[in-house]
């Protein structure tokens, strides 16, 4: 295996499948199977999930809500998604732990770095919920931060597109995909991989990012086995 310990970031929207809102249980089950296949190879897996399929602080602020209040609601949305994925992972007989940045004693453990690392060493899939626990941040930033804290080899950003393109492939038929870019290339070309806070954290800590299509069956495993899939930023 190319990587020993990885952090997988999934957007909340990825969990919607073909729906417009909420959680598509079949999609979550599909992700659980993909994660199990990677886990079977002995890779330590930590996961951060977004909340955009349920609630986004920024959008709520635009419709008049207090931003901080709305962001906490967004963080709670990530916990709902995390619990759905945890359930699906347990259905395929993986051992899991959900650790959140906001304490919720009845349903999960508080995030404690050493504990997270211990769970990983014991072969448990660790899900980090509630983002960073702070308003004005995103789950991309939570993913970068947690990946650095647990010393992950790479952040794998599973999306619906298969990498980073010269322009939006959905709008521009001439758009081409990059196989590899440096952090500086991203700044120079004005491309976006994650929000700047998340991206800068990875850059400053030399943590590579791979953007790949998580919906294509088998992609996740191939990627961890070292196949060139998606776009690597390092």
Q: Which residues are annotated as a binding site?
A: 9-12, 51-52, 56, 71, 132-139, 159, 165, 168
Q: How far apart are CA 62 and CA 58, in angstroms?
A: 6
Instruction: Report the residue from 7, 8, 12, 199 that binds ligand UDP according to the rule CB under 6 A.
Output: 12
Q: Which is nearer to ligand UDP, 92 or 104 (CB)?
A: 104
Q: How far apart are CA 215 and CA 213, in angstroms?
A: 5
Judged by CB under 6 A, the number of residues near ligand UDP is 25
Q: Considering the rule CB under 6 A, would residue 137 count as an interface residue with ligand UDP?
A: yes
Q: How far apart are CA 149 and CA 103, in angstroms?
A: 19
Q: Considering the rule CB under 6 A, would residue 17 count as an interface residue with ligand UDP?
A: no
Tell me the CA distances in angstroms from 65 to 21, 69, 72, 73, one per residue in order: 20, 7, 12, 11
> Least distance to ligand UDP from the beta carbon of 66, Å?
12
Tokens, residue 83: 């619990």
Q: Which is nearer to ligand UDP, 128 or 178 (CB)?
A: 128
Q: Considering the rule CB under 6 A, would residue 100 count as an interface residue with ligand UDP?
A: no
The DSSP code for 49 is E
Element (H, E) at 38: helix 25-39
Provide the annotated binding site for ATP: 9-12, 52, 56, 159, 165, 168
The DSSP code for 111 is P
With CB under 6 A as the contact rule, which of the stretches 36-44, 118-126, 137-145, 167-175 interacts with ligand UDP? Answer: 137-145
Nearest CA among 71, 73, 74, 81 for reference residue 15: 81
Instruction: Report the residue from 30, 92, 104, 134 that binds ligand UDP according to the rule CB under 6 A.
Output: 134
Residues that bind ligand UDP (CB under 6 A): 11-13, 50-52, 56-58, 70-71, 74-75, 77-78, 131-132, 134-135, 137-142
């Amino acid at each position: 295996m190319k990587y020993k310990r990885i952090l997988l970031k999934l957007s909340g929207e990825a969990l919607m499948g073909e729906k417009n809102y909420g959680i598509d249980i079949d999609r979550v089950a599909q992700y659980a199977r993909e994660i199990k296949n990677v886990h079977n190879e002995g890779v330590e897996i930590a996961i951060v999930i977004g909340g955009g399929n349920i609630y986004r602080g920024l959008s709520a602020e635009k419709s008049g809500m207090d931003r901080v209040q709305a962001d906490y609601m967004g963080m709670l949305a990530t916990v709902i998604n995390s619990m759905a994925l945890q359930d699906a992972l347990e259905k395929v007989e993986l051992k899991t732990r959900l650790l959140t940045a906001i304490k919720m004693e009845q349903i999960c453990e508080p995030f404690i770095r050493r504990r997270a690392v211990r769970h990983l060493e014991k072969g448990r899939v660790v899900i980090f919920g509630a983002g960073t626990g702070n308003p004005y941040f995103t789950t991309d930033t939570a993913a970068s931060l947690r990946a650095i804290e647990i010393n992950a080899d790479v952040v794998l950003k599973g999306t619906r597109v298969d990498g980073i393109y010269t322009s939006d492939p959905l709008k521009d038929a001439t758009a081409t995909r990059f196989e590899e870019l440096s952090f500086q290339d991203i700044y120079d070309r004005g491309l976006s991989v994650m929000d700047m806070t998340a991206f800068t954290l990875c850059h400053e800590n030399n943590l590579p990012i791979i953007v790949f299509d998580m919906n294509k069956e088998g992609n996740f495993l191939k990627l961890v086995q070292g196949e060139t899939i998606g776009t690597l930023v390092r």
